[in-house]
Amino acid sequence: MARLRPGREVVVVGVGLHPFGRFPGKDLSELALEAVVESLKDAGVRWRDIPIAYFGHVYYQGMSLGETTLSKLGLTGVPIVNVENACSSGSTAFWQAYWGITTGMYDMALAFGAEKVPRGPVTVTPDDAPERYIGGDHMMAGYALRARRYMEETGAPVTALAQISVKARQNAALNPYAHRKDTYSLEEVLQSRLVADPLTLYQCCPTSEGAAAAVLCARDALRGYGIDASRAVSVAAAVLTSGEYNGRGADHSAFSPYRTEPAALQAYEMSGLGPEDVDLCQVHDAATIGELQQIESLHLTPFGEAWQATVEGRTALTGDIPVNTDGGLLAMGHPFGASGIRMIHETVTQLRQEAGPRQVARARVGVAQCSGAGDVTTVHILKK
C-alpha cells in the first residue's frame, strides 16, 4: 500500500447540484453548468478564480466535454481534465482536485460530474465482448449474486434488504433534488418486478440524469480569495483504490464485495479518525445489498451484521449511524459521473447543518464512499 503524503489542508468551500431525474430537454452541458454555477455561487468565487477543473463522466457524448461545457462560462485557458472511472468518475475527479491542492500545485480547484445514463440494465463491456455471450455482464445480476451469498452466510432475510429501499425513499422524500420522492412500504418493495432475484426493481437504483459540483480550496488560501471560512468543510481523507486480487477473480463486484475495506483503512489512517468518529455516511447503494457491504467494509458494523443494524433503525436519519441521508443511489438515482460528488454535496450540507428536515442531530464527521466497475473505490472523509 502506497504511503499517502498530504500537504496543505484542503477544504470544500462550495457545492452545487442539478436535480437528479430525467431531463429530455437539456443536454449534458446544461445539466453540468447549473451545478457548476451553483457551486461557484456557494463558494462566493468567480469562474476566473478557478485554476483547474476535473470533470467526471462516463457515456460517450463527444470528446472534451469538460472543455466544451466550461467554455460557456468563459475561456480562461486553465487546464481541464476529463475523468472516466465508471461509477466513481465524479468522486475520482474530486480526489484529483484534492491531491492537486494538498500537494501545492493549485490553491483552488473545481470538481464536477454529469451524466445522462441510458435506460435499461447497465453493462460495462463492448457489444461483442465474451461476457455478452456468457451473460455475466449485468450490473444488477452481480449485486444479486452478492445478495444471495450474503443472505446464505448471515441469515439476513430479504425483508432486511427491502428495508434499505424503504429508508432510502423516506430520506429522499425530504430532498427536493431526488429522482424518486414517493415513499413505499416493505411489501411494495418486495412485490415490485423481479430484476434478478432476490433483487426486485425497487431494490435497484434508477438510471438517471443529473450533475454535481464542488469547489475545493487550500485553507491557507481562503483569505486571499475572500472566502467565508466559517462554512468551509475540511477534507480529512481522500483515497482512491483499484482491485486487489483475492484469488477469486477481478473486474466483477461479485468476486470482491468487500473491496472497499482497504480504501477505508487507508482513509482512517490518513485522517487519524476511526469508525467510532463517523457521524453519518453516504455509501454506494446501487442495489440494497451494496449498502450493507459498504457499511461493513467501513467497519461501522461488524461483518455480517449491517442487516441487523438496518432492521433496528440504526441507519435511519434518527439512528446512531445514519446512512445515505439524501436517499442514496436508490432514490436519488445514479448519473454515474455525478453520483460521487452528489455524496460530497450531501456530506457538506449535513456538516454545515444546512440539511433542513433531513438534518442528522450530530454531524461533525461524514464519510462518502463510491464504487465503480473495474474494482474502483473511493473513500473521502469530511470533517467540520
Partner 1 sequence: MSVPESVDPRRLRITNEAGTEGTLIGFRCRECGVSVFGPATFCQACTSFELEAADLGRVGTLFSYTIVRIPPAGWPGAVPYVLGQVELPDGPQVLAEVIDCEHSALAIGMPVELAIEAVGAPAASGGGSGGADKLVYKWRPAGA
When binding is defined by CB under 8 A, the residue of 17, 35, 195, 323 that contacts partner 1 is: 195
Ranges of H-type helices in the chain: 28-43, 65-70, 89-102, 130-134, 139-154, 158-172, 186-191, 222-225, 260-271, 288-297, 306-311, 328-332, 336-351
- Nearer to partner 1 (CB atom), residue 144 or residue 156: 144
Please provide the distance, in angstroms rounded to a whole number, between the alpha carbons at the two ends of the chain: 28
Contact at 8 Å (CB) between 34 and 177?
Answer: no
When binding is defined by CB under 8 A, the residue of 48, 155, 194, 354 that contacts partner 1 is: 194
Q: How far is the CB of 140 from partner 1 (least distance, A)?
A: 8
Q: Does 199 bind partner 1 (CB under 8 A)?
A: yes
The amino acid that residue 226 corresponds to is G
Q: How far is the CB of 134 from partner 1 (least distance, A)?
A: 6
- 1: exposed, middle or buried (Cβ count in 10 Å: 0-12, 13-18, 19+): exposed
- Nearer to partner 1 (CB atom), residue 152 or residue 182: 152
- Nearer to partner 1 (CB atom), residue 200 or residue 339: 200
Q: How far is the CB of 30 from partner 1 (least distance, A)?
A: 25
342 φ/ψ angles, rounded to the nearest 5 degrees = -60, -40
| Residue recorded with cell 459540483 | 213
Which residues, 101 to 140, sit near partner 1 by CB under 8 A?
120-121, 123, 127-128, 130, 132-138, 140
DSSP 243-281: ----SS-SS-GGG-TTTHHHHHHHHHHHHT--GGG--EE
| Residue recorded with cell 442528522 | 360
When binding is defined by CB under 8 A, the residue of 193, 276, 357, 362 that contacts partner 1 is: 193
Q: Which stretch binds partner 1 (CB under 8 A): 77-85, 197-205, 287-295, 361-369?
A: 197-205
DSSP 185-244: -HHHHHHSPEEETTEEGGGBPPB-EEEEEEEEEEGGGHHHHT--GGG-EEEEEEEEE---
- Nearer to partner 1 (CB atom), residue 138 or residue 352: 138
Q: How far is the CB of 192 from partner 1 (least distance, A)?
A: 12
97's grid cell: 482536485
- Nearer to partner 1 (CB atom), residue 231 or residue 252: 252
Q: How far is the CB of 130 from partner 1 (least distance, A)?
A: 4
Could you give the string, one character per residue 142-171, with x where binding to partner 1 holds by CB under 8 A and - elsewhere? --xxxxxx--x-------------------
- Nearer to partner 1 (CB atom), residue 257 or residue 340: 257
Beta pairing class for 53-56 and 108-116: parallel
Could you give the string, one character per residue 230-269, with x where binding to partner 1 holds by CB under 8 A and - elsewhere? ---------------x-xxxx-x-xx--------------
- Nearer to partner 1 (CB atom), residue 97 or residue 158: 158
How many residues bind partner 1 (CB under 8 A)? The answer is 37
Active-site option among 87, 205, 217, 281: 87
138's grid cell: 449485468
Q: How far is the CB of 207 from partner 1 (least distance, A)?
A: 12
d(CA 5, CA 71): 34
The amino acid that residue 96 corresponds to is Q
Q: Does 313 bind partner 1 (CB under 8 A)?
A: no
87 part of the active site: yes
Q: How far is the CB of 373 from partner 1 (least distance, A)?
A: 13
Q: What angle do CA 167, 95, 352 make, to 5 degrees?
A: 50
- Which residues form the interface with partner 1 (CB under 8 A)? 120-121, 123, 127-128, 130, 132-138, 140-141, 144-149, 152, 193-199, 245, 247-250, 252, 254-255
The residues annotated as belonging to the active site are: 87
